Structure formats: structure tokens, C-alpha cells
Amino acid sequence: QAKARGRNGYQFYAASMSGDGVERLRMEGLLRRAIDKNEIYLAYQPQVEIDTGRLTGVEALVRWHSAELGQIGPCQFIPLAEDTGFIGQLGQWVLQEACRQMVAWEAQGLTMPKIAVNLSVRQFERGGMAAIVTEVLESTGLAPHRLQLEVTESIIMNTGDALQYVKDLHAIGVGLAIDDFGTGYSSLAYLKQLPVQTLKIDRSFIKDISQGPDDEAIAVAIIQLGKSMNLSVIAEGVERADQAAFLLRHGCNLAQGYLYGKPVAAGEILARWGGQG
Ligand code: C2E
Ligand code: MG
Ligand code: MG
Ligand code: MG
């Protein structure tokens, strides 16, 4: 066994010195400078009412276009930022920029009802998010109820003081949503204690609607759960009209997905949704 461990240890060492490790180190270095180089920006994806098509908000999604590496997806650089501790700075930038954009749209004649911003586990578990959010709201002048923070179930379950942190954020008046709902392991008893307003049904359960009875059952169960707890429920990753029809039929009238719009630049949101009151 010791031998096996030794071999694994060696393999780990070897891997960390291989091309992947070097590439990762390079990416880390570039990411640290990306904000100052204006390579980080936000894309906004509409959230709509299925029956009326009315816009209820947008989710802000962070993007990185590196001069050296090209376009890098958040699933690649968010974990990197979490590992290196850069996530604090990055997350704060995202929050500030999202709130600033809300105020900018307002000045351009678009009153966006709300903006959703994702929080990383590393931001959340550190504590002190409430102070950061307060400062960002004050500096941008955005009303708290127009900001919704998204945390995943796993963030909540893996953070010891999660309940207190969620309460602190709730006390400021911002909204809270549980992202990727259904993929984590939160107990319903615990969920009941959390002052959250929204459940986001994970895309994986929406994907196979009208193709798989199991996923349909899960989607319906989440909708029912949300209703019984007086929460609003929004479906992620709605791509087809049959999914939207299914959701509506089962009492979920909020959706986000390519059917309604991909994440786009702020200007495109203004062009499409501005001037509609
Ligand atoms: P998420 O918060 O669950 O965001 C939804 C993801 O699904 C986005 O991917 C979005 O572009 C994608 N999506 C939306 N509608 C559809 C659809 O109809 N079909 C398909 N196939 N995909 C759809 P994206 O932008 O690549 O972000 C991936 C994840 O990265 C996010 O998942 C979130 O966990 C994380 N992320 C993005 N921005 C931030 C951020 O500012 N901070 C943190 N901490 N995490 C972020
Ligand atoms: Mg999200
Ligand atoms: Mg999500
Ligand atoms: Mg998701």
C-alpha cells in the first residue's frame, strides 16, 4: 500500500510539473492581471415570465477574454480564482459592475426589475459578504431588493455558518436564490430555515423534459416544493417551446434559457428590452 501511495505521489508530482501545470500557472498569472487589463466583463441573460414573455430580470455571468489565451469560460477560471484566492477581488468586481450596470440601464430608460449575481463558495464561506454587499449598494445607489444573490446548495451545505450569513444578507434586503437546485444535498428541514425567495431548477432536470419521465418527475417535485414553501421557482436552461409549455402546465411561470436569449452584452439587453416600459 505504501508503495502504491508512493507511486501516486510521484504521479501527482510528475503531473504538476507537466505541461498542464505550467499552463495552469500561466493562466493564474494572467487571470490576476485580467481585471486591470479590462479583460473581464459581464454578459447578461434574460429571465422571463413564460406566459407573457415579460422580462423579470437578468443574471450576470462573468466572462474573460484574455489577450494571450483567447476566450476562457467561467467553469475554467472560477475554480482557478477560488484556488488562488483571487475570487475575492473578482467576485467584488462582478458585484460592483452588475450594480453599476443596473443604474446605467436606468439612465438609458431601461428599468431592469432585478439582477442576479452568483456567489462562489470561497466568497461566501469567508463571511463578511453582507458588509461588501452593503458597500457596493451604497456606492452604486442600487436599491437592495433589485439585487438577488445566487448560492448553490453545496455552498450552503459546506459552510458552517451558512444560516447566519444568509440571514445577514437577508437583513440588508437583498434577494437570495438557490442555484442549480436539485443537484445538491440540502435537507428540506434546513432549507425551511433559510430566508431565501427563489429556487432555480437545475438545467439537467429541464434538459430531458418530454424525453424522460424521471427528470420530469424531479422538475415537478421541485415546483411543488417551491410552491408549498412560498418560494418562486425559475427553470434554468430552457431551450425548447415544449419545455416551456411543460413548466407552465405544472405551475412554473419563470424561465431562463436560450429559448428566451443567450447571455449577451449590456447594450444588446438595452436594444432588445429598452423602451418597453
Ligand atoms: P449558473 O449560475 O448555473 O449559470 C447558468 C449557466 O448556464 C451559464 O453558463 C449560462 O450561459 C448557461 N445557460 C443558460 N441558459 C442555457 C441554455 O438554455 N442551454 C445551455 N446549454 N446553457 C445555458 P456560464 O455563463 O458558462 O456559467 C457557468 C457557471 O459559472 C455558472 O452557472 C456559475 O456557476 C459560474 N459563474 C458564472 N459567472 C459567475 C460569477 O460571476 N461568479 C461566480 N462565482 N460564478 C459564476
Ligand atoms: Mg447562477
Ligand atoms: Mg444555475
Ligand atoms: Mg446550473
Confidence at residue 68, expressed as pLDDT on a 0 to 100 scale:
95
Kindly give the residue spans of alpha helices, DSSP state H, lying in 18-73: 19-34
Give pLDDT, residue 127. Answer: 83
SS3 117: strand
Evaluate whether 181 touches 202 at the Cβ level (below 8 Å): yes
- Tell me the three cell numbers of residue 151: 448560492
CA-wise closest residue to 198 among 253, 141, 150? 150
- Residue 237 CB–ligand 1 contact under 6 Å: yes
Instruction: Tell me how far the alpha carbon of residue 110 lies from the centroid of ligand 3, in angstroms.
Output: 25
- pLDDT tens for 169-211 read 999 999 999 999 988 877 788 888 899 999 999 999 999 898 8
State the pTM of this model: 0.92
* Ligand 1 mean position, distance from CA 91 (Å): 15
CA distances from 219 to 43, 128, 144, 203, 232 (A): 27, 34, 30, 10, 14
Provide the pLDDT for residue 161.
86
| Per-position DSSP letters for 192-248, written without gaps between them | HHS---EEEE-HHHHHTTTT-HHHHHHHHHHHHHHHHTT-EEEES---SHHHHHHHH
Q: Can you tell me whether residue 149 is helix, strand or coil?
A: strand
Q: Which residue CA neighbors atom 10 of ligand 1 most closely?
A: 263
Nearest to 77 by CA among 124, 41, 117, 127: 41
Q: Fill in the DSSP letter of residue 266.
A: H
pLDDT digits (tens, 9 = 90+) for 136-168: 999 999 999 999 999 988 888 877 888 899 999
Q: Which residue, judged by its Cα, is nearest atom 33 of ligand 1? A: 118
Q: What is the largest CA-CA distance in the chain?
A: 69
Task: Decide: helix, strand or coil at residue 260.
Answer: coil
Task: Kindly give the pairing relationship between strand 232-235 and strand 147-152.
Answer: unpaired
Q: CB of 61 within 8 A of CB of 44?
A: yes
CA 213 → CA 181, 183, 209, distances in Å?
Answer: 18, 17, 8
Ligand 1, atom 45, lies closest to the CA of 118
CB-facing half-sphere around the CA of 199: CA atoms within 13 A: 27
Q: Give pLDDT, residue 243.
A: 97
ipTM of the complex in this document: 0.97
Dihedrals φ, ψ of 229, to 5°? -100, 10
Nearest residue (by CA) to ligand 1, atom 2, is 118
- Are 94 and 123 in contact by the 8 Å Cβ rule? The answer is no
Element (H, E) at 177: strand 175-181
Which residue, by CA, sits nearest to atom 19 of ligand 1? Answer: 237
Q: Which atom of ligand 1 is nearest to the CA of 238?
A: 18
**Minimum-distance ligand 1 atom for the alpha carbon of 91:** 42
Measured between alpha carbons, how far is 22 from 31 in angstroms, rounded to an integer?
A: 14
- Spell out, as residue ranges, where the chain has pLDDT lower than 50: 1-16, 277
Residue 182 near ligand 1, beta carbon < 6 Å: no
Please, is 207 exposed, middle or buried when counting C-beta atoms within 10 Å of its C-beta (0-12, 13-18, 19+)?
A: middle
Question: Ligand 1, residues 35, 61, 207: which to mutate, most atoms within 8 A of Cβ?
Answer: 61
What rounded mean pLDDT belongs to the chain? 90
